[in-house]
Chains A and B, each alone.
Chain A
Amino acid sequence: MRKLTRIASVVLLVAILTSACGGGGGSSGDQPFRIAVVTPSAKNDLAFSQSIYESLLKVQQAMGGPEKLEFVISENMFVVDDAGAAIRDYASQGYDLVIGHGSQYGGVLQEIAPDFPKTSFAHGTTVDTFVDKGITNVFAYEARSEQGGYVNGVMAGALTKSNVIGVVGPIETGDAKLYVDGFVAGAKSQNPNAQVNVNWIGSFSDVALASEAAQTHVKAGADVMAGTAQMVVGAIGVAKENNALWFGTQASQTSLAPDVVVANQIYDWSGVITEIIDLIGKGTLGGQAFQITLANKGLYIEYNTAYSLPDEVKDLADATVDAIVTGAISVAP
C-alpha cells in the first residue's frame, strides 16, 4: 500500500512538472501556410511578444483567415533550452516557417536549421542569418527602435516641466539599448536643459524592481517617464499614481494608464512576415535580414487619444518622424 502511494505521488509530481510546459500542436489538411512562433514572454505582455502575436493576427486577416494562414504560438519560453526543444518539435511537424522571437534563440536555431533544410526559420531582433556559416534557411529581423525612441524623446523633452525625465530599462543591450539611446538623444536635442536619468534594472521580468526604479525617478523629480520591455507595467503604475507622463514602446500600453500615456512606438512585423511568406513561396528559405523602420511603417507612433497632447508638440513629433524618414535627422547608433 505504501509503495502504491509512493508511486502515485511520483506520478502526480511528474504530472505537475509537465503541466507547466506547454506543447504545440499542428495539423495537416488543405495546405494553409503554417507558422509556429516561440516567444520569451506572454503573447499579451503589452510589449515584445505581443507585437509578434498581433502582427501575425494582422497577416492572417489580410490573407483570408485561418484557412489560408495557420499559426501556433508557444509563450513564456524564456528558457532557451525549452525553446530549442519546441522549435525542433515544430520543425519536425512540418511547419513552413518557425520563428524564434528573440535574439537569444540564435544559438539553437543555428543548430536546428541545418537538420531541417526544407523548413524556413526566422529570428530577431538581430541581423545574423548565419549565411556566413553556410546556413541558408534562416531569416533575421530587427527593429530600428531608436527611431521611435527619438520621436518619443523629442515629445518628452517638450512636455517636461521639471526638466527631469526618467527611463526604466531592462538590460543594457540590443533592442532596449537602441530604444533608450534614441529616446535620450531625442529628449536632449529638443530640450538641452533636460536631465535624462536612465535606470537599467538588470531584468526583463522583475516588475517590483521596475516599479521601485520608477519611484526613484519620481523622487528625483521626473515628471515624464519612459521604459522598455515587459516588466515596465510596474513602472507605468507608478507613473499613473504620481501623474507623471509615460511613453511606451513595442506595443500599446495605453490601456494601463489612459490618463498619463502620451504615445507608444508600435512594432508592426506584418510587413516582414508577409515578405518572408512571399519569399518562401518563391523558394527562398532564408539568408535575408529585414528591418522595421518609421519609413517602411513597421514602426509607427500611436498617440493616446484620451490624452490631450498640445498641437505644437504633435506637430513637432510628426515633423521629427518625417525628418527621420527623409534622413534629415540621423539617429543611427
Chain B
Amino acid sequence: MISELFTAQVLLGILTSGIRLATPYLYAGIGETFGQRSGVLNLGVEGQMLVGAFAAFYVARKTGNLWLGVLAALLVGALMGLAMAFISITLRAKQGISGIGFFLFGLGLSDLLFQTLLGSVQTVSGFRPLAIPLLSKIPVLGEVFFNQNLLVYGAYLLVPIAAFVMDKTTFGLKVRAVGENPEAADSLGVNVSLVRYITVTLGGMLSGLAGASLSIALLNVFQQNLTSGLGFIAVALVYFGGWRPWGVLAGALLFSMVNALQLWVQVLGLPIPSEFAVMMPYVLTIVALVVAVQRVRPPTALTKPFIREG
C-alpha cells in the first residue's frame, strides 16, 4: 500500500505542491532573517502578511494590474516595517510583545479594510503559471520546477540573492555586526539604528510580498485571516534555518514537502488517521530542529535594544 506513494505521479505531485506551499515562507522567512541577524525579532510578520495580502488583492482587483498589486503590498509592508522599527528601535519597546501587537493590528486592519472596501469574498485573476522557455521542456522536472507563476520564481531567486547580500557584501557584514555586537559596530562608525531600520523595513516589504504571493498568485482570493498562522511558521523557520537564507529554504521545503506528502497520504487512502497525517509536517520539523539546533547559535544581540553608552 505504501508503494503507491512512490509512483512518479505522486512524487511529482508532492514536489509541485511543496514548491508552491513553500513560497510565502521563503519571502517572509528571508525578510525576518535580515531583521533577526541585525538583532530585531519581529513577531508581527503575520500581520504584515495580512495587510500586504489585502493591499495586493484590492489594488490588483481595482486596477486590473497585478504589478500595481505587488507594489501596493511592498509599500504597505514597508510602512508596517517602519512602524515596527520605530517602536522597537527608537522607542526600544520589548520586541516580543510589540510584534504580537503588530500581528493583532494587521489582523484587525486587514479585516476592517476587507469588510468596508470589499464586503464579501471575491476572486481576482492572479499571476498565471509561466513556462520558462527550454527549461520547462525538460521531461518531468520541467513541469515541476519551471512551470510556476512569477511570484514563485521570485521567492526561489531571492534565496541566493539574500545569501549573497548577507555573506558577501559590506551591507551584510554590517547587518551581522550589528546583530552580534552592536557596541563594537557602533565604535567602528556603523550606524546601528539605521542598519536595523533598513532590515526591519525590508522584512516588512518581504512579508507584504509573502501576503501578495497568496492573494494574487497562489490563491487569488482574500478572506479574513487569509494567512492563518503562516507568518508564525515563517518566524519559526528562521530559527530552524539557523538564521541563514539557505537554511530557511531547507526548512521551508522540508515543512512544505511533508505537508504535501500528508495530503497525498489521505488522497491515496493510506491507513493513517487524518489527525496523524496533518501532524506530520510539525512533528518532522520539530525533530529536525532538535537535531539541527545543536550546531547553531542565534545572533547575540537578538531582541536586545541598542543603547549607546557615554
Contact = CB atoms under 8 A, between A and B. Distances in A.
B254 to A, nearest CB: 16
B274 interface: yes
Interface string B104-126: 11011001000100011111000
A172 to B, nearest CB: 6
Interface string B223-262: 1111111100000000000000000000000000001100
Interface residue tally of chain B, by bracket?
35 or more
A199 interface: yes
Interface stretch (B54-62, B95-103, B189-197, B292-300): B95-103
B266 A198 contact: yes
A240 B108 CA distance: 30
Contact of A207 (B93, B219, B274): B219
Interface string A37-49: 0000110111000
A17 B101 CA distance: 6
Contacts of B104: 16-17, 19-20
B275 interface: yes
Majority secondary structure, A binding face? helix
Given A20-B105, A207-B219, A256-B221, A42 B21 contact: no
Q: Which of B105, B121, B269, B274 has the most CB of A within 10 A?
A: B121
A216 B17 contact: yes
Interface string A14-45: 00110110000000000000000000011011
B267 A166 contact: yes
A230 to B, nearest CB: 7
Contacts of A220: 13, 264, 267-268
A255 B120 contact: yes
Given A208-B21, A237-B219, A216 B267 contact: yes
For the residues of B in contact with A, the DSSP-based class is: helix
Choose among B9, B98, B278 the residue with the greatest number of A CB atoms under 10 Å from its CB: B278
Contacts of B230: 208
A233 B91 contact: no
Contacts of A104: none
A172 B111 contact: no
B17 A212 contact: yes
Interface in B14-71: 16-17, 20-21, 24
Nearest to B221: A233
B108 to A, nearest CB: 4
A253 B102 CA distance: 32
Given A16-B101, A207-B214, 14 more contacts: A46-B121, A166-B267, A199-B266, A200-B274, A202-B277, A208-B228, A209-B21, A209-B263, A212-B21, A215-B16, A215-B20, A216-B17, A216-B267, A255-B122
Interface of B: 9, 13, 16-17, 20-21, 24, 87, 91, 93, 97-98, 101-102, 104-105, 107-108, 111, 115, 119-123, 214, 218-221, 223-230, 259-260, 263-264, 266-269, 274-275, 277-279
7 contacts: A6-B91, A16-B101, A19-B105, A45-B121, A216-B263, A217-B267, A237-B221
